[in-house]
A and B are shown apart, each in its own frame.
Chain A
Amino acid sequence: MSDKIPVTVLTGYLGAGKTTLLNRILSEPHGRKYAVIVNEFGEIGIDGDLVVGADEEVFEMNNGCICCTVRGDLVRIIDGLMRRKGKFDAIVVETTGLADPAPVAQTFFLDEAVGRRTKLDAVVTVADAKWLAHRLKDAPEAKNQIAFADVILVNKTDLVEAEELAEVEARIRGINPYARVHRTERCAVPLSEVLDRNAFDLDRILDIEPEFLEADHDHAQGHDHDHDAHDHHHDHGSHHHGGLRHYHDEEMQSLSVATDQPLSADKFFPWVQDLIQKEGPNILRCKGILSFKGDPERFVFQGVHMILDGDHQRPWRDDERRESRVIFIGRNLPQEKIREGFVGCAA
């Protein structure tokens, strides 16, 4: 429904520049009014009327699933904010530097009252160009925030050399090749790149190619960025594809599998359900575009840990390659098992 209030989640490790971005969102003349949910209420100057302090209370759901967590404070605050409906057009949730974005995102899918009135727009992560590489080594939260993101601002680029910047971007890509990455100084990015992304909207799952391949059209290997090269080492090393330095993160990886074979819905759904039952805690994000045998429509899905949301999107066009593709971003994923399982769903 179009009258749902969009919610942008702003993450990033301490000092990366979240507040700078937040103040830009609030102060630029875009004609929209934002309600802001912040975690360090009163400690940092935020301009704006509707600013609410949050407590980051992560609640487990009583459904026996350890990764089905929601932010209890968000449920309460959004209920309160909706009493002032009409006073704001969108909500921005700023998390602490140590927060896991998953419970925030899951709140919009697991809480019926929140989901009925608001929709998650995107997870935007601000990364410090100088310090991110270090944080990826010593702070699991920083890695989660990169892996989870739809949009990443590599901020404070003025404080690093070109080589260092290329390296930090390569490390980001090693974890999450699907997010849109922007290089920024003082978070200066057109706000349209941060807001109204519809990243969780099934209607907008158009393209799930790795983002950097789009920007790098002469990349020879095209669709092959799924880490299945035979020379794959989990060794913190880097290798070069067409001049692009490529890091593998030992713990957090992305996986993309595609097939031109039409899939069997009767095979795919039990397979994906079983996969997220077993691997859900390790799968941070997943997305897919599927072509089922005998089905004239594209089926799309997206998920967060063990929550999957899927639907028919639109008819396949005649000029379109009917490829099925799934991507997973997660921790220590059993890549071969997923790959074989997916290909085994062919009709």
Chain B
Amino acid sequence: VTARDEIPSVAERARIFAAGAPVVAIHFLESTAAFVLGEEALLLVTKDGAQRRVPVHGGAILSSASDGNRVITGGDDGKVIVTAADVTSAAIAADAKRRWIDHVAVAPNGTIAWSAGKQAFVLTSKGGAEALEVPSTVGGLAFAPKGMRLAVAHYNGATLWFPNAETKPEQLEWKGSHLAIAFSPDGRFLVTAMHEPVLHGWRLADRQDMRMQGYAVRVRSIDWTADGKWLATSGAAHLVLWPFQGKSGPMGKEAQLFASTEDNVETVACHPRQPIIAVGYANGLLLLVRIPDGAEILAKRSAAAPITALLWSPDGTALAFGTEDGEAGILSDLG
């Protein structure tokens, strides 16, 4: 039942804005929501609703990341742009061949990485860049929790690289095209979303492979719960949660499935403290789902456009969402 007419609702607490372009990602700079638009600009919305459009790229914005202080974006103009909370933007890199900046990542310590084609780059303290070439176009980038190591997803596996060390990068192999990539919060596991509707994972201590399947469509959104016990994912007509409590992660265990609808989940976002997951669907429905009982709260009724971006504020009192047709919203007072 997609309508969810009978469940408790917080939908009326939403403030809705017209973003003017598809919303592709959201970041929070303290209490200010930064909506990353598909083209050209960020839309910054403060807690009291003041909006400011910040032009950052001369075309499509292909990737973004944030460390809470700055938003880093990569564009089809070949530039890597850093935007600070005071709304100043600066290019920290421009690709010599004006290749697309497909991916960006930022470590908790502020180290910035990006990729163009087969090359991954890490910004050095001197403002230069260390480069690593992988066998195929980079599918995704993720820093390990301590920020010293960068994981680079590509065709037939992932490469683990210490940009500041002389050691040879390590290869993790698994056949196929690996895209989105993420470390578990404790750094023990590395998970990739593959081109096929399946997740792959490696237990880094012994490189044991993990295959997580059963999806309807490619998994685009993965997020760990605050306690690191669950990996929440999109890609099916319900929220999929893989258990990562034990030594061997989800190996030999079944996924928990919650909040079934007729439409696929597009994006998920875990609450920064509590076991609550915001789940955005392809039909525009937005639900808050509690673990472990699966209790649901309606956050936005279904509409035409998919929920394409979703993020909780760092204090967990606000939830920002964006849609493919350019609607941006903030639900507040969720504490």
Binding site for B on A (CB under 8 A): 41-42, 52-53, 55, 57, 59-63, 70, 72-73, 75-77, 80-81, 83-85, 87, 111-113
Contact = CB atoms under 8 A, between A and B. Distances in A.
Contact of A53 (B38, B60, B99, B218): B99
B177 A80 contact: no
A81 B102 contact: no
27 contacts: A41-B97, A53-B97, A53-B99, A55-B117, A55-B118, A57-B136, A57-B137, A59-B177, A59-B195, A61-B176, A61-B195, A62-B194, A62-B196, A70-B195, A72-B195, A75-B195, A76-B102, A77-B100, A80-B60, A80-B102, A81-B60, A83-B22, A83-B38, A84-B38, A84-B76, A111-B195, A112-B217
Contact of A72 (B97, B137, B175, B198): B137
B215 to A, nearest CB: 11
Contacts of A42: 97
A84 B39 contact: yes
Nearest to A116: B217
Contact of B155 (A57, A77, A81, A83): A57
Contacts, number: 66
B176 A59 contact: yes
A63 to B, nearest CB: 7
B270 interface: no
A279 to B, nearest CB: 24
Contact of B24 (A41, A55, A62, A83): A83
A168 B14 CA distance: 67
Interface string B85-99: 000000000000101
Interface in B72-113: 76, 97, 99-100, 102
B97 A83 contact: no
A287 to B, nearest CB: 27
Interface in B132-165: 136-137, 139, 155
Nearest to B100: A80
Nearest to B136: A57
A106 to B, nearest CB: 13
Nearest to B63: A80
Interface of B: 22, 24, 38-39, 59-62, 76, 97, 99-100, 102, 117-118, 136-137, 139, 155, 175-177, 194-196, 198, 217-218
A2 B61 CA distance: 26
Nearest to B37: A83
A76 B137 contact: yes
Contact of B198 (A41, A62, A85): A62
A142 to B, nearest CB: 26
Given A52-B100, A61-B196, A80-B62, 10 more contacts: A55-B117, A57-B136, A60-B176, A62-B196, A81-B60, A83-B22, A83-B61, A83-B62, A84-B76, A87-B39
Nearest to A111: B195
Give chain B's interface secondary structure class.
Answer: loop
Contacts of A55: 117-118, 136-137
A87 B22 CA distance: 13
Nearest to A77: B100
Interface centre among B117, B118, B177, B196 (most CB of A within 10 A): B177
B39 A83 contact: yes
A111 B194 CA distance: 12
6 smallest CB-CB distances across A and B, nearest first, come from A83-B38, A83-B60, A62-B176, A59-B177, A84-B60, A80-B62
Contacts of A52: 76, 100
Contacts of A77: 100
Contacts of B24: 83
A48 to B, nearest CB: 13
Contacts of A81: 60
A84 B196 CA distance: 25
B20 to A, nearest CB: 11
A42 B97 CA distance: 9
Contacts of A63: 196
A62 B140 CA distance: 19
B283 to A, nearest CB: 14
Given A52-B100, A83-B62, A84-B59, A59 B155 contact: yes
Nearest to A81: B60
Nearest to B325: A85
A72 B218 contact: no
Contacts of A76: 102, 137, 139
Given A60-B176, A83-B61, A113 B198 contact: no
B64 to A, nearest CB: 12
Contact of B177 (A41, A72, A83): A72
A77 B175 CA distance: 22
Most B C-beta atoms less than 10 A away, residue of A57, A81, A87, A111: A57
B76 A80 contact: yes
Contacts of B196: 61-63
Contacts of B136: 55, 57, 72
B252 to A, nearest CB: 21
Nearest to B59: A84
Contacts of A57: 136-137, 155
A259 to B, nearest CB: 38
B41 to A, nearest CB: 12
A84 B218 CA distance: 21
Given A53-B99, A63-B196, A84-B59, A72 B155 contact: yes
User: Which of A59, A61, A75, A112: most chain B CB closer than 10 A?
Assistant: A59
Contacts of A85: 22, 38
A277 B177 CA distance: 24
A9 B288 CA distance: 44
